[in-house]
Each structure stands twice: as C-alpha cells, then as structure tokens.
Amino acid sequence: MDYITQIEEVATCAAKEGLSFLTDELNHLPRILHTANETYKALTQWRIITHEKPDVEKDTRQAIVTGLYTAWAHEHKQRHEPMQQSEKVEQIGTLAGRLHCEQRNTNDPFAILSRAEKEITAFESQVHTHQKNHPTKDAITAQIKTEVWRASHHCHALTGKAMSREHAKELEKHLQKTYQASFNAQQDKTPEIRSVLRHMITQKAQKIEIKPVTREEAATIHAQAEAHKIQSLQQHQEQMKQRAQQRTVQQQHNRGMEL
C-alpha cells in the first residue's frame, strides 16, 4: 500500500468514525500513520500469540483509529501535561482505539479518550504501588518485571485478552538471563529492556525460539528500534511535504485553467 493510499484511507476512516477533526491538521498525519502501522503490526503479533485469527479489515480499522486517538492524546499532552511520558500517551491511544471500536455509540470520542486516560493512570498507579510494596533485589529485576507486566497490559489494551502467565514467565526468564551479568544492577535500562522485550514478542509471533541475547545485542536492538521510529516519522513528514507541494502545484494549475 503506497503512502497516498494510506492518507486517503486514514481520511475515509476518520470521517466514518467521527474523528475528521484530527486529520484537519497536516502535522498530525505523520504521527497518525506511524502509529497506525505499528499498531497493525502489534495487533497481528498479539492475535497470533493469543491464538486469535487476524482480521485484516477489523484490525486496519482499529489501527487507524488508534493512530487518531494517539495523535489526539499527544496534542492534549503538549497543551496540558507536557511532562507526561510519551509511553503513557501511546498506552492511552491504544486503549482508546479498542474502546472506540468496541462501542456501538461513538458520538462522544472525548469521553472515550477520557476513560482511556483514567484507566491507564489507574494502571500506572497500580504498578507504582506494587513496586513500593514488593521491592526486588535490584533495579534491573524490578524493571524487567514491570515491563513484562506492561507488555501484558498492552496486549489486553489492544485485543481485550491478556498475555498468558506462561508466556509472561518465559519472557521474564530470558530477560533475566540477558541482564543477569549487568555490571550496574541499579542502572535504569527500562527503554532498552522494552525494546528487547518487543523483539522477543516479535520472535514469539513468528514461531522463532526465544533466547536470551547478549548485552551488546540488547544495545543494538534498542538502537535499531529507536532509529526505526525516528526514520518512520521523518519519512512520513517528508512525504507530507511532497503531498503539500503537489497540492499547491495542482491548485496553481487549476487557477491557470480557470483564467
């Protein structure tokens, strides 16, 4: 599917879902498209892991709606809560996308976004309380357990199903082996752990045997994940510029024809 088709598909979906106001600003579209593509990949993977059959039409709709809500949540963050973490914004958009697609009456999208924000805030509070009441032997162990918990919650936010306890234990085991030889057990490795965990989840969905990775491989996986995100957003931004230029040329041509 080429980029122009994706833009048109997003616009069509937004109109059907009562979310056209989110596509009025061209600067929203790169984030919407990036999130929609990543959400579709994640949906496909989680459906395989939870033994659900992927539904292209249904999953495409949810992916686009998730992109729309995530862009909206990001805009709200910039205006009202600039210190809020981007990861939480993505979680809010993910949950709002599923809630919207599950409801028959979606005439109040702000209520859906607000509900998602409240539920994600409550989940993060639960995580914080658990960490406080159940301290681990070191920071790395706490980070691993927390990120596996968040991954399971992400699975539920997307599909309505939680990752099985067996899968969670398997992922936690391999992450522990990856980081057991860490020289500084108190160092914050959360972003890297999150990238390695997503890498392992991708392997799980592809029926590839999950194995611990070396610390060097973990760093490489994280660097590649960060680079992919930046490149994806930059690519969409550049293509948006090209599309805007094409529109300008077409408008000038149309005015010339009228004269």
What is the rounded distance in angstroms from the CA atom of residue 42 to the CA atom of residue 36?
A: 10
pLDDT on residue 235? 75
pLDDT on residue 14? 93
Domain residue ranges in the chain: 3-258
Q: Is the pLDDT higher at 99 or at 257? A: 99
pLDDT on residue 187? 76
pLDDT on residue 145? 93
**Mean pLDDT computed over 74-90:** 78
**Mean pLDDT computed over 18-32:** 82
Residue 90 reports pLDDT greater than 60: yes
Contacts of 101 (CB under 8 A, 6+ apart): 58, 61, 62, 65
Tell me what percent of the residues of the chain surpass a pLDDT of 70: 85
- Locus of tokens 């990856």: 178
Residue 153 · residue 123 · CB < 8 Å = yes
The mean of the pLDDT values for the chain is 86
Give pLDDT tens digits for 57-68.
999 999 999 999
Residue 159 reports pLDDT greater than 70: yes
- Cα distances from 255 to residues 56, 154, 243, 252, in angstroms, run 41, 50, 18, 5
**Three-class SS state of 107:** coil
Give pLDDT tens digits for 219-242.
999 999 989 888 877 776 776 677
Phi-psi region of 254 (alpha: psi -120 to 50; beta: other; left: phi over 0): alpha
* 208: its two tokens: 């590839």
What is the rounded distance in angstroms from the CA atom of residue 59 to the CA atom of residue 55?
A: 6
Residue positions counted in the chain: 259
Alpha-carbon dihedral angle through residues 206, 208, 214, 219, given to the nearest 10 degrees = -10
pLDDT on residue 186? 62
**Mean pLDDT computed over 147-162:** 94
**Mean pLDDT computed over 145-173:** 94
What's this model's pTM, rounded to 2 decimal places?
A: 0.84
Contacts of 132 (CB under 8 A, 6+ apart): none
Q: How many Cα atoms are found within 13 Å in the side-chain-facing hemisphere of 109?
A: 21
Give pLDDT tens digits for 191-214.
999 999 999 999 999 999 999 999
